[in-house]
Amino acid sequence: MRTTTSIFFVCFLFSLTIAAQTRQIIDLKENWKFAKGSYNDAYQKNFNDTKWETVSVPHDWAIYGPFDKEIDKQTVAILQNGEKTPTEKTGRTGALPYIGEGWYRHTFKLTDVAQNEKVLLTFDGAMSEPQVYLNGKKVGSWNYGYNYFYFDITEYLEDTNVLAVHLTNRDKSSRWYPGAGLYRKVQLIVKNKESINHWGTYITTPLVSKNIAKVNVKTEVTGSNLELKTTILNAEGNEVASNTTTTNFNNQFEQILAVNNPNLWSPEMPYLYKAKSEVYKNGTLLDAVTTIFGIRDIKYEAGKGFSLNGEIRKFKGVCLHHDLGPIGSALNKSALRRQLQILKDMGADAVRSAHNMPSLEQLELCDEMGIMFLAESFDEWAKPKVDNGYHLFFEEDVEKDLINLIHATRNHPSIVMWSSGNEVPDQWGAEGVKRAKRLQDIFHREDPTRPVTVGMDQVGNTMKSGFGALLDIPGLNYRVHLYEEAQEKFPQGFILGSETASTVSSRGIYKFPVEKASMKQYDDYQCSSYDLEYCSWSNLPDDDFVLQDDKPWVIGEFVWTGFDYLGEPTPYDDKWPSRSSYFGINDLAGLPKDRFYLYRSRWNTEDETLHILPHWNWEGREGETTPVFVYTSYDSAELFVNGKSMGIQKKNDSTKQNRYRLMWMDVKYEPGTVKVVAFDKEGNTAAEKEIKTAGKPYKIVLTLENKTVKANGDDLAFVRVSVVDKNGIPCPTATNQLKFKVKGNGSFRAACNGDATSLEVFHNPTMKLFSGQLVVLVQSSKTAGDIELSVKGSGLKSGKVTIQSVE
């Protein structure tokens, strides 16, 4: 097999090429031609695309903007939000140009494809409704933009091949920014016709103990008179078990292997094994696939809740949308890794993919980094939420979509639960109960090892109809006032907070007076970072903390959301220019809001947390009440303003907020220094922190989150940009316009300041600071060496930093 396209032997979590003579994986990444619009002949091989834009895949055509309030403008009442009167929504799907048709074309050569070989064309996701053509002939189509799919293209191949993909994104097809284009990877797999089927390996661990693990390996193949050898290797590459068999039933081998003294997978120790599967015929190796898996035991039991490897624990999880902020939906593994690293530092141990099928790379990282995963499938079933949503395809496609989800991802140890839907309108009525059972039965048939949930918001109705009772795990979205009743009426014996909080805040923005408020709006279209504002259907973090701490039958929570995302700018979804969410624990740039430290103070049990809010730059508020909150893992602390004690506060049960926050509500603002001294349980000083009033912005400061990147053309360096005064004190209210320049072996990719109202496009090398900060993304080239980022601003001393790009 020879190819003029670059060949990469890629390690999937479900398959890895281990020998060039058995199969090849060809990454179709570079030199795609793209154009947005309708081109009637673009599927033809001889179509002239020379004037089209040249792009790399993954690619999101809409993220480059511009932001426009007329894009997908809707006059609608959002039922999930309890709205009854339609209003104009201008930023619901991000106000970015994702709607319309797009064409991608790619030319590749394959020569000498042998008679005994076949070629698969695989897509990890295409937004949306892809129609796929090769050499002018239609290969196939798929409707759901979040699903993985593939076609056998062997019969369509020529020496020189032109692949064309047509995509259609309808208006009113999403409730958030869906992105647009070939936003996940596209590959060719060249292998023998007699071989292991795509997604054909299924590994389970039905018996797990400290001394021994029973590993069951089912392998689907195509061919006759085959022999299968499976070898299990530990993380160090040493063989720990092996089995060879010629017995298969209906083209499926089943092997049972024993692993002695197994290392069990968990968030604390994400140990991974490899199962190397080799197919032989008459002594000749035909195919070889390596499957990465983990050995772990999960249980959900009435009266006990969720246990992993025999230890009861509660999910400390967040929900994540699929966009990656300033780079949109275009998948980038280094950006995903950064998100998960931030969540791990916060103490999170679980992620829910909301409300769609996750990328394979995200699951790969969760396996490696130790993050449990709730893999969700749909936001709609047969009843619509939006005019052109998944309900258009549900009856025809739902089973094949679920089968692809399960078969593509079921070997990931991180997945501990499936979700068949989120807040589906089908929660009403008998038909919805039947649909819930139908989908749950598909999951059980294809993967009997994991339970199924649905994120339910109509909890009262699901208690009456039987919808919630039939689920393996009843998932409650909010509705904290119904937890007790649901626990009494549902038979499972436990409840999951499948979606919690929906508290809203803007990083570094504080509003006065400080008070609890639902759907509060301000003239600047921001939300207060005192973390006391929430949505009409939701609640504050502390309300969920109490349930998690006091109710053993509550098995954990998934907070809405870990990061801000494009679209759904509640409570300003009827206000322009709001165009992204306020729900995130971290903002759209990945910078932590104050709420990050509230969750960290509970969830991160390894490291101390001591955080003060608000900032202390309040010119014009001298003498006015300016409450100070401290989020800390310590139980008590003393606050000082310019050396004067404001008293000692200790966490207590007088209110839910007092139980989890230290609050000095009567502090009067005066410029200077705020200092907090935290005490351990014996009353000794354990930690100190202070913030100071800053002067005028003087100097730009650049902070590297990662000092090195890989010279692969994809890796991203994330650089935090801030300004300080002449004394080096951060300026928390700075809004200076900055300019960015990248030299050396890399390029400027994007910038983001986390401001949900900003209309500055992400890919231009200039942006204003928001609350004194922003993040610049620098992308590596394929050549190792130094990359230099310089940042300038009018009247400011410029900043410069060097990033190392390594092989």
Token pair belonging to 306: 């969720």
Helices (H) and strands (E) in the chain, counts: 10, 50
CATH code at position 24 = 2.60.120.260
Residue 258 burial class via C-beta count within 10 angstroms: exposed 0-12, middle 13-18, buried 19 and up:
middle
CATH classification of the domain holding 335: 3.20.20.80
The per-residue pLDDT for range 72-105, each reduced to its tens digit, is 998 888 877 778 888 898 999 999 999 999 999 9
Are both 278 and 370 inside the same structural domain? no
* CATH code for the domain of 231: 2.60.40.10
673-701 pLDDT per residue, tens:
999 999 999 999 999 999 999 999 999 99
Task: Return the CA Rg of the chain.
Answer: 27
- 372 and 243 in a single domain? The answer is no
Residue 141 counted as domain residue:
yes
Does a structural domain hold residue 601? no
Q: Which one, of 68, 92, 95, 90, lies nearest residue 81 by Cα?
A: 92
Q: In what order do the strands lie in the sheet with 636-641?
A: 644-650, 636-641, 673-679, 685-692
Looking at residue 1, what is its pLDDT? 32
- Is 496 a member of any domain? yes
Mean pLDDT of 357-364: 98
* 154 and 219 together in one domain: no
Residues 448 and 496 in one domain: yes
State the pTM of this model.
0.96
Let me know whether 276 and 417 are in one domain: no
Within this chain, do residues 207 and 176 fall inside the same structural domain, yes or no?
Answer: no
Q: How many CA atoms lie within 13 A of 326 on its CB side?
A: 30
* β 766-768/305-308 pair status: unpaired
pLDDT greater than 70 at residue 9: no
Assess if residue 515 is contained within a domain.
Answer: no
Read off the pLDDT band of 5 (50, 70, 90).
very low
The per-residue pLDDT for 83 is 81
Does residue 220 have an active-site annotation?
Answer: no
Straight-line distance from the first to the last Cα atom of the chain, in angstroms, rounded to the nearest whole number: 27
SS (H, E, C) 221-272: EECCCCEEEEEEECCCCCEEEEEEECCEECCEEEEEEEEECCCCCCCCCCCC
Q: Tell me the average pLDDT of the chain.
A: 95
86 lies in a domain?
Answer: no
Report pLDDT digits (tens) over 110-147.
977 888 999 999 999 999 999 999 999 999 999 999 99
Number of independent structural domains in the chain: 4
Question: Read out DSSP for 53-84?
Answer: EEE-SS--SSTT----TTTT-EEE--GGGT--
Give domain status of residue 613, yes or no. no
Tokens, residue 225: 């008179």
- What is each CA distance from 290 to 10, 144, 219, in whole angstroms? 11, 28, 12
Catalytic residue among 227, 499, 568, 760: 499
- Catalytic site includes residue 423: yes
Same domain, 413 and 285: no
Q: Does residue 589 sit within a domain?
A: no
Residue 547: enclosing H or E segment and its boundaries?
A: helix 541-550
Same domain? 440 vs 579 = yes
Domain that holds residue 146: 2-62+98-192
**Which two tokens mark 246?**
């010629």
Strand 131-134, strand 160-169: pairing: antiparallel
Tokens of 438: 């139908």
How far apart, in whole angstroms, are the C-alpha atoms of residue 675 and residue 681?
Answer: 20
Same domain? For 265 and 390 the reply is no
Strands (E), 359-429: 372-376, 415-422
Please check whether residues 228 and 113 belong to one and the same domain: no
- Give yes or no: residues 223 and 169 share one domain: no
DSSP 129-169: --EEEETTEEEEE---TT--EEEE-GGG--SEEEEEEEEEE
Establish if 204 belongs to a structural domain.
Answer: yes
**Final residue in a domain of this structure, among 192, 214, 247:** 192
The answer to whether residues 541 and 473 belong to one domain is: yes
Catalytic residue among 227, 364, 380, 423: 423
Tens-digit pLDDT profile for residues 488-518:
999 999 999 999 999 999 999 999 999 999 9
